A and B are shown apart, each in its own frame.
Chain A
Amino acid sequence: MRREGEYSFLRTVTSIPSVSSFIFHPSSFILLICLAGLIAAAPLAHLLAPQLYVEARYKPGEFQAAKESIALSLMGQLQMSVGDLMWLKTLEYLHNGIIYRMPSQREQSQGLQAAEFTGMGAGVAHHDGPSLVPDKDRDWRGPLGDVDRHIEPWRPGHPQHSDPQELIPWYQLLVKFNPHYVQAYTNGAFFMSDFARQPEMGRDFLIAGAEKNPWSFEIESVLGRIYFDYFKDYERAADALVKATGLAKQEKRALAERQDKLDNIQGQLLGEAYLFLARSYTGLGQFDEALAACDEGMEEVPGYNLLRVQKRIVKKHKAGEGGGSE
């Protein structure tokens, strides 16, 4: 008869550790602390979100005060770091695991530039440089490099994109950690609507993003486009796009005060906002408003040539009085 405390083979392999031995075991202690930190980071970020609110119109003094606050700095940096890491994850997913980098200064001086990819609309534009793992003829690592090219996802030539639907969970997680990561909202909504064929999800995602980032013209711009493309709701599209263009003008003014301007992708988005605003007005039969949108757009985004084309289209519609449909 086995006494209490005696070991048996079965008992050895099937006994579950007690709760206290589980919690205070060195391995689980480390892992539980990390897990708790990760779990706490998201709601903590939410709680601190009002304090971490950054607006384009922050005065220099206000920026300085935020920078000098250690707690806000650390929390903000954690937020940004985690967000950036997740963003890199989405790019990795997009490129089937292959990591691309920006060209080095030496490469740029030799004429190698990052390719700007705008194929899926300005809302999802990004730059693709050479792969981090170099080609064999440029690899100084010899046999280690050969092995690395087989262990790491790698292929020569231009980047190829995978099914962007897989990126959606990462965008959803990313905004939990950093609700001010605007590009996560815009990209995520586009993929939800287009590839996952769930435009309602994309719309709701952007509405939530707009609540967290009321100054962001990019979110309103993509929201307007989604209303236009997937819901054919020209009225709501127009409302969102008017808001987008208004916010963009404010942003431009604020940037101008800092001797700065919208970047290429933002410019592209603003151009699209005017384009689809014009198309929405055209769809509603409001041709004068459509023409005004084209004119304003050409003034705000001079390089966006599609607005000229759209203006001609609007004029044709107006001349033909063909009705509301785009």
Chain B
Amino acid sequence: MDTKSVIGISDLTVVYKAARGKSIEAVSGLTLEVEEGEVVGFVGPNGAGKTTTIKVLMGFLFPTKGKASVFGLEAGSVEARRRTGFLPEVAVYYPFLTARETLASYATLQEIPASDHDRIVSQLIEKVGLAGRDREPLRNFSKGMLQRVGLAQAIMGDPDLLILDEVTSGLDPVARRDVREILLEFKSRGKTVFFSSHELSEVTLVCDRVILLDEGKVLEERALDELRKSMRKLVTVAKGTLPASALPDGVTLRSVNEPYVTLVTNTESAQEELRKQLQASGLEIVETFQDSGSLEDYFVNTIGHKVT
């Protein structure tokens, strides 16, 4: 494991004990690293093991096997958490406290000097868009508003690492944009962000790298640029009747709308080869263009079932 990694997970296995002596392997032999300054998206279907992995990093769960470290320190240690901001999956806070009181108490736990509490809490309230609602009890807050409180407490104290579980859950599009801006701002200052999300569009807008998890194992781990390239499709629309012979390798029939056929390839060379074959078969090339592709389609194809 690289000691300069902010997050280092090596062969992590987490087994839950279920009823009647059964056990569930939530995470199985997981290995990943997150370097300093990276923004890494952690995606996968429900039950993939994302939250379990995050809980291990925060020290809420203990590895059955393997190791996890944060800033080179044991995952979940007080020192590691001192430099980490964490947003849990479900935003629940003390219902009878106000947002201001909640953030003030977290400020104490974050070891922020008492003299700075007011200023920092006011700044955070402004930043997450809760101005004017900060003195109401949290039990009056909607899910989205609670999520904002959660984000405020996570970024409190300007941590070096943000670990966010379903950060945009419950947020309206405007709030999501605000969150995105906060994350990009963190990124621009060289901070590290490790977040899980179901919102694939958010992942593509913010991340440097995407890790795809399923059934406790890493399926894919790619830089976003590389991912976009592999998602890109070259589309050829031809007029005529396709010959009965099989399509060449690397060519997929997308649709047939008489008299037009739409074919898809991944590379330019394959597209050029296809063009020649179609012309040799007497079809007319009507149009060729690039389709950047859908991340959802990509993941669905990779995982083999729907990502919700």
Contacts and interface: CB of A to CB of B under 8 A. Distances in A.
Interface of A: 2-3, 5-7
Contacts of B137: 5, 7
Interface in B127-150: 135-137, 140
Contacts of B135: 2-3, 6-7
B130 to A, nearest CB: 13
Nearest to B132: A3
B271 interface: no
A5 B140 CA distance: 9
Contacts of B51: none
B153 interface: no
Given A5-B136, A5-B137, A5-B140, 9 more contacts: A2-B135, A3-B135, A3-B136, A6-B98, A6-B135, A6-B136, A7-B98, A7-B135, A7-B137
Contacts of A5: 136-137, 140
A2 B137 CA distance: 13
Interface of B: 98, 135-137, 140
A186 to B, nearest CB: 57
Nearest to A4: B136
Contacts of B98: 6-7
A2 B132 CA distance: 10
3 closest cross-chain pairs (CB), A and B: A6-B135, A5-B136, A6-B136
B226 to A, nearest CB: 51
Contacts of B136: 3, 5-6
A9 to B, nearest CB: 11
12 contacts: A2-B135, A3-B135, A3-B136, A5-B136, A5-B137, A5-B140, A6-B98, A6-B135, A6-B136, A7-B98, A7-B135, A7-B137
Contacts of A6: 98, 135-136
A219 B98 CA distance: 67
A3 B132 CA distance: 9
Contacts of A7: 98, 135, 137
Contacts of B140: 5
A6 B135 CA distance: 5
A5 B99 CA distance: 13
A136 to B, nearest CB: 52
Contacts of A2: 135
Most-contacted residue by chain A among B98, B135, B140 (CB, 10 A): B135
A5 B96 CA distance: 11
Nearest to B97: A7
Nearest to B140: A5
Contacts of A3: 135-136
Nearest to A7: B98
A6 B140 CA distance: 10
A58 B190 CA distance: 95
Nearest to A8: B135
B102 to A, nearest CB: 12
A6 B136 CA distance: 5
B235 to A, nearest CB: 56
A137 B36 CA distance: 75
Nearest to A6: B135
Nearest to B133: A3
B104 to A, nearest CB: 13
B100 to A, nearest CB: 10
B17 to A, nearest CB: 31
A277 to B, nearest CB: 73
Nearest to B135: A6
A7 B140 CA distance: 12
A3 B140 CA distance: 13
A164 to B, nearest CB: 52
A35 to B, nearest CB: 27
Nearest to A12: B96
A17 to B, nearest CB: 13
A3 B133 CA distance: 9
A5 B136 CA distance: 6
Nearest to B139: A5
A7 B137 CA distance: 7
Nearest to B134: A6
A119 B196 CA distance: 86
A14 B149 CA distance: 28
B223 to A, nearest CB: 48
A231 B98 CA distance: 72
A5 B135 CA distance: 8
B201 to A, nearest CB: 36
B127 to A, nearest CB: 21
B3 to A, nearest CB: 48
A20 B233 CA distance: 64
A58 B71 CA distance: 87
A209 B137 CA distance: 59
A60 B140 CA distance: 68
A104 B136 CA distance: 66
A6 to B, nearest CB: 4
A7 B135 CA distance: 7
A2 B134 CA distance: 12
